[in-house]
Amino acid sequence: MTRNRLLIWIILILLATNIATVVSVMVNSGRMNADRRARGSEMADARVMFFRENLQLSESQMSEFTKLNLKFGQVAGPITGELDRLRRNMIIELSNEKPDLEKVEKITEEIGSLHKQLKQATTKYYLGLKGVCNPDQQELLKEIFMVMSDPSGDLNSIRRGQMGPGGPGQGQGRNMRRPGRGIEGRGF
């Protein structure tokens, strides 16, 4: 009889722990979404300023970049938020004692579809930006996006001459004024 009681207590403790974990994830995801919205406009402004500084954009180019950036943010922001939600749901499902693999498969398909939409939006964004740039700016824009597409990319690598047509060591040596990546690389 005492063994059964012990097993019941263990099961109750594990159940309470699982419930607390799920509630914690749900509460924190709400906070993260609010924080992301607040940071979203700051990041958009930082992205435009980053391009302005590093591509040496004229006022008319800045106007176009700002418009393109706004359109991109309106498309990419909700997609990124939905991707985060789906990833959390997948982890929650996988952490279940007996995960529903059909549900996980459906989530992965949704993630794949959203990634495709995000890459299509990024393509439009890049081509729009490229269309505003002169040939020299287009080359630097390409280098910036190449670094951004690398998860470990460092925008200072362009300044150090590690990017460019010939590969490492063949860059243009342009001065990237910000430390580290400079801007958030999501969506690129």
pTM across the whole model: 0.60
pLDDT value of residue 31? 63
Cα–Cα distance, 148 to 126 (Å, whole number):
12
Q: Does the residue 103 lie in any domain?
A: yes
**Percent of the chain surpassing pLDDT 90:** 41
- How many domains, the chain? 1
DSSP class of 151: T
Residue 37's contacts (CB-CB under 8 Å, 6 or more residues apart) are none
1-42 pLDDT per residue, tens: 577 777 677 777 776 777 777 777 777 766 655 655 555 556
pLDDT tens string, the chain, 188 residues long: the values are: 577 777 677 777 776 777 777 777 777 766 655 655 555 556 667 777 888 888 888 999 989 988 998 999 999 999 999 999 999 999 999 999 999 999 999 999 999 999 999 999 999 999 999 999 999 999 999 988 888 777 665 655 554 444 444 444 344 444 444 344 444 444 44
Q: Does the residue 177 lie in any domain?
A: no
pLDDT value of residue 38? 54
Q: Does the residue 167 lie in any domain?
A: no
Q: What is the domain range of residue 90?
A: 2-159
Contact status, residue 67 vs residue 132, Cβ threshold 8 Å: no
